[in-house]
Each structure stands twice: as structure tokens, then as C-alpha cells.
Amino acid sequence: MEGTLVRTRLVTGALALALALVVAGCGGAGSTGPGDDGKLSIVATTTQLTDFATVIGGDRVHVTGILKPNVDAHDFEPSPADVDAVARAPILIENGFGLEQWLQETITTSGYDGTRVVAGEGVTPIEGDGGQDPHIWQSAANAKVMVANIERALAKADPAGAATYKANLDAYTAKLDALDHDVRTQVATIPAADRKLVTNHEAFNYYAKAYGLQVVGAVIPSFDTAAELSAREISELVARIRATGTKAVFSEASLPPQTAETIAKEAGVRVVAGEDALYGDSLGPAGSAGGTYLDMMRHNTKVIVDNLR
């Protein structure tokens, strides 16, 4: 897209050397089965996947999440500790669709030889100017695909726990079905003409498609938050907001709200930020409104409905 600059995020040579030194003594992933404590060790790249793996694995797993709450998934560089965690993990769960742009270099640096699980396998991607939209978890139906992939991987690695993983999957799938119904019911209370969405970046296309909203635009017109908005694109977005009668601009918890606030002010609409900011790329801290996947979806839906209805 003209006027959009995308920063390249690569681990620097010095950091790569430091990571290699950290990994050199860890000896690779080893067995894919449970460790000495009887628990299966898992590394998950994103906060959503950490939550999913914890729910499906229950007491039989130990899950290490690389990305932390409210950390931008796009603008991320792994630390030496992150690379060490990847190197040691029997199972590595990733989102896929290009979200983890840092991951392949981390795997190469760490010498990882365990089992990689692409949680998004089987999800039909939304295509855009920037390729495939990686924000697949923003639909409860896609979340069902993701947790099913995780369950199959855990059962294969730990056959003794297969019945437990399946029971956990069944219970969580029922919660996802109820969530999907609740979101549809709530969004349906917004007048059809007002179901228009402007967010910090293009992280809500799957949500909009699943639940019947129109994406008018985004403050950062890209799947990747590293892109930048040109003056022309800002003017065009303001004009679209006015022309479509969009009621609000929604900021995201993992991104600064300043540009969203400026665009909302120019367009003469409210900006939704602070405690009401949406959870886009990341879950929030434990106990927050976005502390789990289910909490995140409920929070986002309530905020969207409250501000558009």
C-alpha cells in the first residue's frame, strides 16, 4: 500500500550470537513425551495459544508462553531466555499465517528439533493486501479448530493422557459454542446501519466476518502493527468514517492510542481507549478483562456493542 512503511524485525547479529551461546548448552528438545515430573512441557508462541494449551492440557502439562500479556505480537524480538525455552520444548505451538515473523530464525538459532504444532491448520484464511490475515483467533469457530489441533498433538505426544485431553477439549468446545451464540446475540442488538468497525489495526476481520460487522478501516491499514499511516491515508480514513456514519474508533490494549484519538477527533466521533480498549493481538494480564480467551471475546463484544448500539 502506497505510503505504508514496514519495519523489518530481525534479531541482530550480536543477539543471535548471544542466543546461540545460551542454546549451545541445552542439548535440543529430546523426547516428545512427558518429562521427569510426568508433565508434558509445551512452549506456546502467543498469549491465546498459551491459554488454549493450558485449558486443554490441564494438570498434565507445563506451558511456557513466549509472548506476554499486552505485548504486540508483530513488533517482537525473542530474548535469549525465549530461545532457550524453545530449544528445550518437546512441543512448540505456533499460530501460523505469518504472525510469528521472528520464529523461524529462533528455531534455526536454537537448533530446535521437537514437534511443531500449527494451531491454525485447517482455518480458512482471509486474504488482503498484506497476504493472509493471521488474527484467526478472533472467531470462536476458528478457536475450535485451534484447540482441536492442540488436543490431537497432546494426545499423540502423551497417549496416557488422551482421555483427559479429549474431555478437556469437549468441555471447552461447549464453552466456545456458547460464546459464539452469545456474541451473535449481542451484536444483533446493534442497528444494522451502525455495525461499522474502525480499530487500531486490521486485527478484527475474522470477528467482523463471523458476527456481521463491516470493517470501515483501521488506524494502521495493515495486518502488521509495524506499518505506518501516511497523511493521505489518515485523511481518507477520516472521510470514510464521516461518510459511513461510523460511531467510534476503537483503540487496542497492546498499542498506543494517540493516533486513534487524533483520527476520532478529526472525524468527530468518540475514541474507545483505556480500560475499554479492545484486546487485538494479545490477551491481558491474569485477572484483567482480557485475562483469558473467553474473557477477551466477552470484553471486546461488550465494548463494541455498548459503543455502537
Q: What is the pLDDT of residues 198-223, one digit of tens each?
A: 998 889 999 999 999 999 999 887 65
**296 inside domain:** yes
Measure the CA–CA gap between 34 and 62, rounded to whole angstroms. 10
98 in Cβ contact with 46 (< 8 Å)? no
136 in Cβ contact with 206 (< 8 Å)? yes
Q: Cell 496416557 sits at which residue?
A: 160
Report how many domains make up the chain.
2
The answer to whether the pTM exceeds 0.75 is yes
pLDDT at position 227, please?
Answer: 57
Q: Which of 165, 182, 199 is the last residue of a domain?
A: 182
pLDDT at position 123, please?
Answer: 98
In tens, the pLDDT along 224-267 reads 555 566 788 889 999 999 999 999 999 998 788 888 899 999 99
* Beta partners for residue 128, in sequence order: 131
pLDDT tops 60 at residue 5: no
Measure the CA–CA gap between 184 and 124, rounded to whole angstroms. 20
Instruction: Verify that 156 and 269 share a domain, yes or no.
Output: no
**5 inside domain:** no
Instruction: Verify that 26 and 155 share a domain, yes or no.
Output: yes
**291 inside domain:** yes
Question: Pick the residue with more confidence: 72 or 267?
Answer: 267
Instruction: Verify that 167 and 260 share a domain, yes or no.
Output: no
pLDDT tops 70 at residue 86: yes
273: its cell numbers: 481507549
Instruction: Verify that 73 and 171 share a domain, yes or no.
Output: yes
Instruction: Verify that 171 and 295 share a domain, yes or no.
Output: no
**174 inside domain:** yes
Measure the CA–CA gap between 187 and 212, rounded to whole angstroms. 8
Mean pLDDT of 124-147: 93
Three-state DSSP state, 307: helix
pLDDT at position 93, please?
Answer: 98
Q: Which domain holds residue 263?
A: 190-308
Instruction: Verify that 166 and 38 share a domain, yes or no.
Output: yes
Instruction: Verify that 109 and 165 share a domain, yes or no.
Output: yes
In tens, the pLDDT along 93-129 reads 999 999 999 999 999 989 999 999 999 999 999 997 7
Instruction: Verify that 211 and 158 share a domain, yes or no.
Output: no
**For the chain, what is the radius of gyration of the CA atoms?**
20
**150 inside domain:** yes
Instruction: Verify that 152 and 280 share a domain, yes or no.
Output: no
Helices assigned H by DSSP within the chain: 13-24, 47-57, 80-88, 103-110, 140-157, 162-187, 205-211, 231-244, 258-267, 293-308
**8 inside domain:** no
Look at strands 127-128 and 131-132 and give their pairing: antiparallel
CATH number at residue 51: 3.40.50.1980
Listed as own residue / partner, the contacts of 221-224 with beta carbons closer than 8 Å and 24 or more positions apart are 221/1, 221/4, 222/1, 222/4, 222/6, 222/129, 222/130, 223/128, 223/130, 223/131, 223/133, 223/134, 223/135, 224/6, 224/74, 224/130
pLDDT tops 80 at residue 186: yes
In tens, the pLDDT along 11-45 reads 344 344 344 434 444 444 445 566 667 899 999 99
| Amino acid letter, residue 160 | A
> Side-chain half-sphere of 61: how many Cα atoms within 13 Å?
34
Look at strands 131-132 and 196-201 and give their pairing: unpaired
The region of weakest confidence among 29-38, 46-55, 75-84 is: 29-38
Instruction: Verify that 26 and 163 share a domain, yes or no.
Output: yes
Instruction: Verify that 140 and 21 share a domain, yes or no.
Output: yes
pLDDT at position 228, please?
Answer: 67
Instruction: Verify that 159 and 254 share a domain, yes or no.
Output: no
The backbone torsions φ and ψ at residue 300, rounded to the nearest 5 degrees and listed phi first, read -55, -45
**6 inside domain:** no
pLDDT confidence of 188, banded at 50, 70, 90? very high
| Mean pLDDT value across the chain | 88
